[in-house]
Structure 1
Amino acid sequence: MRSIIGTSRLHGALVCGLLTLGLIPGGAMAAGGTLTAQDYAQAERYMPYTTMPLVDHLVRTVHWLDDTHFWYEDHDASGDHYLRMDATNGKAAPLLDQAKLAAALVKAGKKDIKADKLGITEFRVAADGRDDIQIGDAHYLCNLQAAGECVDKSTLVKTGKEPGVLSPDRKQEAFIRNWNLWVRDVATGKEIQLTTDGIENFGYATDNAGWQHTDRAILEWSPDSKQIATFQQDQRKTGDMYLVTTKLGHPELQSWKYPFAGDEHITMIERVVIDVPTHAVVRLKMPPDQHRSSLCDDVSCGRKGGWDDVKWAPDGKTVAFVSTSRDHKHETFRIADPKTGEVRTVFHEDVATYYESGNGEVNWRYLPDTHEAIWFSERNNWGNLYLYDLGNGQLKRAITDGQGNVTEVLRVDAKTRTVWFRGVGRTSGINPYYQQFWKVSLDGGQPVLLTPEPSDHTITLSDDGKYFVDSYSTTTQPPVTVLRDANDGHVITTVAKTDIKRLLATGWQPPEQIVVKARDGKTDLYGLMFKPTHFDPTKKYPIVNYVYPGPQTGSVDGFDFQSSHRDNQSLAELGFIVVAVNGMGTPWRSKAFHDAWFGDMGDNTLPDQVTAIKQLGQRYPWIDLDRVGMWGHSGGGNTTADAMFRYPDFFKVGWAESGNHDNRLYEDDWAEKWQGLLVTNKNGSTNYDNQANQLIAKNLKGKLMLVHGSIDDNVPPYSTLLVVDALIKANKDFDMLFLPNQHHGYGSDTPYITRRRWDYFVQYLAGDTPPKEYSLKPWPWK
């Protein structure tokens, strides 16, 4: 369901099905033109890997080194430049000597490095004064004061290869080995086993949500680096998933625990606290908890990693956590004593559909010094913050109220009783998806807007919360990055202004923001429209609807500035109008908007997609409503097939990638949150029948391509095969691409699949002839 395009895996693509030439389905006559390799090359000019290098002085990420210094990458035509800014005076200087570093890295064995393309992802000063630099998966310790010398850290300290979770004092890291939790000393590599009773499928800190299964440990260190809050995860009764690789000889069987919606036995967790110096394990005195999060469908889902729903007290004497019910309708705030395992329930929140604690990060906070908690709720139809008394579990006051959502709490200062948060929809007259930055007092009063520009703002706070770097932009205005005072938002200095002159020289144009009415005829829907750069208003253009239904995100991947929104502009360049619209049932708007099709996942925003396209067709005479296509990946693949079956006379061509076509064949947490717990009626029907594509596949009339990776461990390929089986039984013609040894993202097959998708719409929706086997460049993922 989660779209991950570009993960590098094994090669190959097996083409199943024949593409038949002829008239476009639905009676529209073929235009009959022939596209050339030059036409495809023109489209490729607007792919992300082509446009991004042409954007200068775009500050993508800011890394704070301490309270007053941060570093960032600044790119221009001469390459990448790493700069360090002093927030006290706004002056920037080179972070390091890039030529000296490149030479030192070459000496250390990294032969493919260049001074203008270092690819640094992490930088800090080590305890001994050397620079600790991460490039890709490798860490180097470098002394650049003299001639320049770097050494690979892995050659200095011999340790296991398991990924570790670093302690707050950066002296230890915790990791999993043989189902047990260990710690290693960062300086010496010495490893110590903390738990001894972990066994297969009942291990400590293990990360497995079915769709996600990694070797990382899920845990929360106490602030003093002496305790670890984690769990022993019980999967012994959880069902298995099986995939098989393709190769000469005996195939390799891949198997892991993967619970389905409706399974009697799903994964559970037993919460524990481990005292690191003594290795004592304290099991919290409560029944096993559901493997659930108040935010997403794994117990770890925030961008910062860790265990989102667990918060330590500053003194480490207590730990707060939130338990989520299997159906996400019941949340319980609890506090535990890590020494005794005693647990106290403080308060509950119960909802009719599903609870979420924010967007991107869990928004609740634990304030033990004042016996309070900040709680996020959508109880008034909008995401707001509330202050609770931990003594009696009662609500003290609303911290924010009214329309618009708090999306992310970025900082709480308990001493000044101030909260800084990102929010959307709180300023009238601007795009409700634009993120802005605010502060508000815990003791009441109106929030203060710190970023007044009517733009989408990306915020990075300093460690002490006194400064923040703000990069703001719109779809048409490139980013301006400034350093601001976190108290009142005034601009201290400009860090960078993005320059797109080189991009514009290619003929590049931004997408147009569009606003249409939803299915109810009242609610505004927001989207983007892409037109060919050679647009001719006297022509009639077929329209392609790029779709992602949510419910956890939408079709539009942001209303900020992007040089490319996937390949939408490239596809438009081949003679299409391409649109992406955030339909009802997607987040960032009101609770009612998000709940629009709860329990009816077969809706997939399709009523909104159809009405949006019809409105655009009425608004713009150059849109041909007799030639409508759709494509999407993952949830978008599900939606595309759904559209071809539910609206067979409207959608003529569909390209469905890696679709979760029946969520009973997907991991339990996803469907049970959005569809509800599985209920089987006496006649054998279920409350999940309304979302099962195979049950309506017989309605297909147009051209449909189904695509799936053979070892997709996110959405299993069997989901697409359910639809294939139904289409065969209904005697329907369709096309399929099955990709051997590819996962949910298509890795090295991505250029091939992208080109085939272009071909499919050119041939069957536009009625033109694509060039023979045009070769797109490999995608240079960094």
Structure 2
Amino acid sequence: MRSINRTSRLYGALVCGLLAWASAPGSAMAQGHTLTAQDYAQAERYMPYNTMPLVDHMVRTVHWLDGTHFWYVDHDASGDHYLRMDASNGKAAPLLDQTKLAAALVKAGKKDIKASKLGITDYRVAPDGRDDVEIGGKEYLCNLKAAGECVDKSTLVKTGSEPGVLSPDRKQEAFIRNWNLWVRDVATGKETQLTTDGVENFGYATDNAGWKHTDNAILEWSPDSKQIATFQQDQRKDGDMYTVTTRVGHPQLQAWKYPLPGDEHITMIERVIIDVPTHTVVRLKMPADQHRSTLCDDVSCGEHGGWDDVKWAPDGKTVAFVSTSRDHKHETFRIADAKTGEVRTVFHEDVPTYYESGNGAVDWRYLPDTHEAIWFSERNNWGNLYLYNLANGQLEHPITTGDGNVTEVLKVDAKTRTVWFRGVGRTPGVQPYYQQFWKVSLDGGAPVLLTPEAADHEITMSDDGKYFVDSYSTTTHPPVTVLRDANDGHIVTTIATTDITRLRATGWQPPEQIVVKARDGKTDLYGVMFKPTHFDPNKKYPIVDYIYPGPQTGSVFTFGFTPSDYDDQSLAELGFIVVAIDGMGTPWRSKSFHDVWYGKMGDNTLPDQVTAIKQLGQRYAWIDLDRVGIWGHSGGGNATADALFAYPDFFKVGWAESGNHDNREYEDDWGEKWQGLLVTRKDGTTNYDNQANELIAKNLQGKLMLVHGSIDDNVPPYSTLLVVDALIKANKNFDMLFLPNQHHGYGPDTPYITRRRWDYFVQYLAGDTPPKEYALKPWPWR
């Protein structure tokens, strides 16, 4: 599922709910030890909220203010320090007076604030010289030159509450009201309606992908802030999804548009260009497009919104965009005249499985001044960049070639004809998941490696392309953050070197990277393994496999440094070996690697998980292959149940959270991309049967816990209930936690379900007795 990866575990949390037990015979485990609250407390020491504060000077990202200045947060035992660095000389100074700011914010009504932990998420200097800071979702204008005074910016100008998209000049923001697009003047709050014919389920810029439905506006401003590229989205014939809240009295029915695979009618978009000063709407002269993306299962893929597959020309006269077919097999690059709406088709790409325009970001670019386009393709089995001629639609030449992927294009300088990109697998001998940073000429030639360290590199470039900040690390080596010259990669200055002395004092240890062979016996698979800090090689340990099967991401959250990979180390601390392994069918490797189980989603990388765990059991005598557990969330919940059903003799205990157990019950775009369009045969069987967990639920032998939120609007709870129904009809014992009024992420009660999951593996996999109702610390939400 979209966004259902390790982030779902970090921030999508759990709430206590109704526990329904179906009595089950205990697994054939000898009665073991009785764990105490102190044992659980020791495990809790390695939860993120306990380990993160103990890591000093870990600067991962910075925020550029202009071409030569950026701000960042440095942390040590005394708290957070906000610093501003001048890239021209490498000198850092305080960004602002934190003590004065905290006092001013308290006077402005924000009581829960400390100078050592401000929690600033955005900062800029306002036109009048005041500090413009965003904290806790609120924006404050602060004058810190005198005694210190802050004012909540929302109290200065009375406007509607709809979320807006700022124009490039930051003077206007566009928003949706009553299915139409409006703009408001940021300074005065004056609001102006741009469209008038938007109606229910046929509105402008609406953000509804089925699994996601928000009030955000999806659009792209022109560079001069005078035009908007957006769409009128037609969902009038789409099918509905329903959930019902739980409360005393009449429940509340929640309904929204949610097309499914095979539906005759799915979401369509009519592309428009809006001239803001004249309120003129130009409808592009072409048929309605599928609501599809070249990258993800929404037209807005990035964390910060926007319409990824639309690029304005610098002069605002034309717009380039890519149309994607319903099954993601056919891409069409087009250019539209912003004034007339005329559309010209430039070139196509057709693929046998599914097309993607990058790994993590849309990587095509529009270069109208030279009548060129940068195009991403995996046509040689790897993600490379190609230069196309926009006049005739012909390929000029490859920009990059060979093995390894371009994962993300960060900047293109049309004048110097230079492209800067992140990539994986392009340096022989370097772990293939480590991101490195390169530059290459649009005219081809060998790319230049700018980050030679064999590590995972996180990059933030300056807007003018002269500098970039590089934070590089591995699972065992914490980040070093440096400022580098974007021309040759030389280090200008070291910004911060992470110190984990305080973390190590707790007994903390990093996970081990592991390499095993895939199902084919030839392909290397990579993963991480966590052992108890009190590990004894003379003991036998049960093993728990954390799984997210893909296809859009894998089980391993990062091969860079993290003090806690959510609760993997904590679970290991209770007497387990915990592993996460990226099996075949996950991204970042070759196209053929990614395509292994296209159209056979019931695979779920499980053949790789089984063979990998068996190899580890043969390699390490302290792994007990008779006690194998598995768990995951969303796609991982699907894979967990699948593992218990498809490999009942191997996986003994599973904890399946919010699983999309049959993708005919999940939004159309996701399943139709990875499984293909739904085909129903004459005998009633379908090409989706191979991924439907309810059809093999009768095979259950071990202990299985099914967990789902009752109002999950990403993966609706009916997906789990299909499995429940099948298990009941097969007379199988199972356990279930149904969480009233909780969505796909379970909210701030993560501790409850996390602890229950620990209990489940302790009791049924290790054969031990957990302490009664241990209370984990609440996650420090902010």
Report the TM-score, using the length of structure 1 for normalisation.
0.99
| Aligned Cα root-mean-square deviation (Å) | 1.0
Partner of residue 357, structure 1 = 357
The alignment partner of 1:345 has SS state of strand
How far apart, CA to CA, are the structure 2 residues paired with 1:12 and 1:464?
49
How far apart, CA to CA, are the structure 1 residues paired with 2:304 and 2:680?
39
Partner of residue 95, structure 1 = 95
Partner of residue 398, structure 1 = 398
Shift of 1:20: 5.0
Partner of residue 770, structure 1 = 770
Alpha carbons of structure 1 residues 449 and 19: separation in structure 2 relative to 1, 3 Å = farther
Whether 1:675 and 2:675 are equivalent positions in the alignment is yes
Partner of residue 301, structure 1 = 301
Alpha carbons of structure 1 residues 129 and 19: separation in structure 2 relative to 1, 3 Å = farther
How far apart, CA to CA, are the structure 2 residues paired with 1:7 and 1:199?
35
CA contact (8 A) 2:12 2:744 kept: no
Partner of residue 17, structure 1 = 21
Whether 1:173 and 2:173 are equivalent positions in the alignment is yes
CA contact (8 A) 1:131 1:142 kept: yes
Partner of residue 196, structure 1 = 196
Partner of residue 331, structure 1 = 331
Partner of residue 73, structure 2 = 73
1:17 partner amino acid:
W
How far apart, CA to CA, are the structure 2 residues paired with 1:550 and 1:196?
42
Q: Deviations over 1:476-514 (max 9, x none)?
A: 000000000000000000000000000000000000000
The alignment partner of 2:38 has SS state of helix
The alignment partner of 2:133 has SS state of strand
Q: How does 1:458-473 map to 2 (within 5 A)?
A: 458-473=458-473
How far apart, CA to CA, are the structure 1 residues paired with 2:12 and 2:656?
21
How far apart, CA to CA, are the structure 1 residues paired with 2:100 and 2:48?
31
CA contact (8 A) 1:5 1:747 kept: no
CA contact (8 A) 1:6 1:746 kept: no
1:15 partner amino acid:
L
Unmatched segments (≥5 aa) in structure 2: none
Whether 1:651 and 2:655 are equivalent positions in the alignment is no
Q: Deviations over 1:179-215 (max 9, x none)?
A: 0000000000000000000000000000000000010
CA contact (8 A) 2:24 2:734 kept: no
Partner of residue 725, structure 1 = 725
Partner of residue 259, structure 1 = 259
The alignment partner of 1:611 has SS state of helix
CA contact (8 A) 1:259 1:667 kept: yes
CA contact (8 A) 2:479 2:498 kept: yes
Q: Deviations over 1:578-633 (max 9, x none)?
A: 01000000000000000000000000000000000000000000000000000000
Partner of residue 48, structure 1 = 48
1:98 partner amino acid:
Q
The alignment partner of 1:100 has SS state of helix
CA contact (8 A) 2:55 2:498 kept: yes
Q: How does 1:727-766 map to 2 (within 5 A)?
A: 727-766=727-766
1:423 partner amino acid:
G
How far apart, CA to CA, are the structure 1 residues paired with 2:244 and 2:748?
19
CA contact (8 A) 1:9 1:743 kept: no
Alpha carbons of structure 1 residues 6 and 561: separation in structure 2 relative to 1, 3 Å = closer
Shift of 1:7: 5.6
CA contact (8 A) 1:513 1:528 kept: yes
CA contact (8 A) 1:9 1:741 kept: no
Q: Deviations over 1:49-107 (max 9, x none)?
A: 11001000011320001110000000100000000000000000000000000000011
Q: Deviations over 1:111-168 (max 9, x none)?
A: 1111001000000001111111000110000000000000000110000000000000
The alignment partner of 2:251 has SS state of coil
Q: Deviations over 1:699-750 (max 9, x none)?
A: 0000000000001110000000000000000000000000001111111221
Shift of 1:362: 0.5
CA contact (8 A) 1:6 1:745 kept: no
Alpha carbons of structure 1 residues 589 and 199: separation in structure 2 relative to 1, 3 Å = same
Shift of 1:326: 0.2
Shift of 1:360: 1.8
How far apart, CA to CA, are the structure 2 residues paired with 1:5 and 1:152?
33
Partner of residue 568, structure 1 = 568
How far apart, CA to CA, are the structure 2 residues paired with 1:350 and 1:645?
36
Q: How does 1:219-618 map to 2 (within 5 A)?
A: 219-618=219-618
1:14 partner amino acid:
L
2:597 partner amino acid:
W
2:70 partner amino acid:
F
The alignment partner of 1:183 has SS state of strand
Shift of 1:303: 3.3
CA contact (8 A) 1:662 1:691 kept: yes
CA contact (8 A) 2:60 2:481 kept: no
How far apart, CA to CA, are the structure 1 residues paired with 2:130 and 2:727?
63
How far apart, CA to CA, are the structure 1 residues paired with 2:696 and 2:24?
24
The alignment partner of 1:388 has SS state of strand
1:487 partner amino acid:
N
Q: Deviations over 1:446-503 (max 9, x none)?
A: 0000000000000000010000000000000000000000000000000000000000
Alpha carbons of structure 1 residues 19 and 534: separation in structure 2 relative to 1, 3 Å = farther
Unmatched segments (≥5 aa) in structure 1: none
The alignment partner of 1:694 has SS state of helix
Q: Deviations over 1:531-586 (max 9, x none)?
A: 00000000000000000000000000110000001111100000000010000000
CA contact (8 A) 2:748 2:781 kept: no
How far apart, CA to CA, are the structure 1 residues paired with 2:762 and 2:97?
50
Alpha carbons of structure 1 residues 437 and 659: separation in structure 2 relative to 1, 3 Å = same
Whether 1:686 and 2:686 are equivalent positions in the alignment is yes
Shift of 1:12: 4.0
Report the TM-score, using the length of structure 2 for normalisation.
0.99
1:238 partner amino acid:
D
How far apart, CA to CA, are the structure 2 residues paired with 1:30 and 1:163?
57
Shift of 1:10: 9.8
The alignment partner of 2:471 has SS state of strand
How far apart, CA to CA, are the structure 1 residues paired with 2:287 and 2:22?
56
Q: How does 1:104-119 map to 2 (within 5 A)?
A: 104-119=104-119
Shift of 1:781: 2.6
CA contact (8 A) 2:23 2:733 kept: no
2:309 partner amino acid:
D
The alignment partner of 1:728 has SS state of helix
How far apart, CA to CA, are the structure 2 residues paired with 1:145 and 1:732?
70
How far apart, CA to CA, are the structure 1 residues paired with 2:583 and 2:589?
11
1:735 partner amino acid:
D
Shift of 1:5: 3.8
1:558 partner amino acid:
T
CA contact (8 A) 1:12 1:741 kept: no
How far apart, CA to CA, are the structure 1 residues paired with 2:198 and 2:235?
12
How far apart, CA to CA, are the structure 2 residues paired with 1:91 and 1:11?
46
Partner of residue 37, structure 1 = 37
Shift of 1:6: 6.1
Partner of residue 695, structure 1 = 695
How far apart, CA to CA, are the structure 2 residues paired with 1:502 and 1:460?
28
How far apart, CA to CA, are the structure 2 residues paired with 1:652 and 1:726?
19
For these two proteins, the number of residue pairs brought into alignment is 778
Shift of 1:775: 0.5
Whether 1:147 and 2:133 are equivalent positions in the alignment is no
The alignment partner of 2:88 has SS state of coil
